[in-house]
Amino acid sequence: MKKENCIFCKIAAGEIPSCTIYEDEEVRVILDLGPASKGHALILPKEHYDDVCSLDAKLAAKMLPLAARIGEAMKKGLGCAGFNLVQNNGEAAGQTVFHFHIHIIPRYDGGPDIVSWTPGISSAEDLAETGEKIRNAM
């Protein structure tokens, strides 16, 4: 299903132009318009899913190997030294376009720290309690 007024549905369908680096019946991979680094790409399913929680499992299983293939092509073609896979779910997590997508962000030697956080501190008790809350909710 497509969602009306969803920009990524329109881009994935080819109704809005994009710099496409890969396409098949189910997905389109495009370059991000506001790249975090040179070559920053997005994998978009052609069907609409709001986020990873609603994503079709078969499609999900296809996207990780595709991300790896594109990351390898970035290393070969652009000379990046590595790449980050980033996938935001929910506004609190930084999602701004509510059509599932995976970011593939090339990382260059000596380049800026793009995907990072300051490690916190947690006691063994905190970890145990937190882990139990998540386990019990699964």
In the complex, the residues that contact Zn ion under the rule CB under 5 A are: 3, 6, 8-9, 48, 99
Which residues inside 88-117 make contact with ligand 5GP, applying CB under 6 A? 88, 94-97
How many CB atoms are located within 10 Å of the residue 70 CB?
Answer: 22
C-beta of 5: minimal distance to Zn ion in Å?
9
Alpha helices per DSSP H over 14-119: 57-78
Tell which residue, 46, 73, 82, 39, has the closest CA to residue 62.
46
Distance CA 72, CA 59 (A): 20
Using CB under 6 A as the binding rule, whether residue 37 contacts ligand 5GP is answered as no
Q: Could you say which of ligand 5GP, Zn ion, none residue 99 binds, taking C-beta under 5 to 8 angstroms by partner kind?
A: Zn ion
C-beta of 4: minimal distance to ligand 5GP in Å?
16
Distance CA 119, CA 121 (A): 7
Copy the structure tokens of residue 75.
């290393």
101 is catalytic: yes
| Interface pick for ligand 5GP out of 7, 81, 127, 128 (rule CB under 6 A) | 7
CA distances from 92 to 50, 102, 134 (A): 14, 17, 18
Q: Could you say which of ligand 5GP, Zn ion, none residue 37 binds, taking C-beta under 5 to 8 angstroms by partner kind?
A: none
Binding site for ligand 5GP (CB under 6 A): 7, 11, 18, 30, 32-34, 42, 88, 94-97
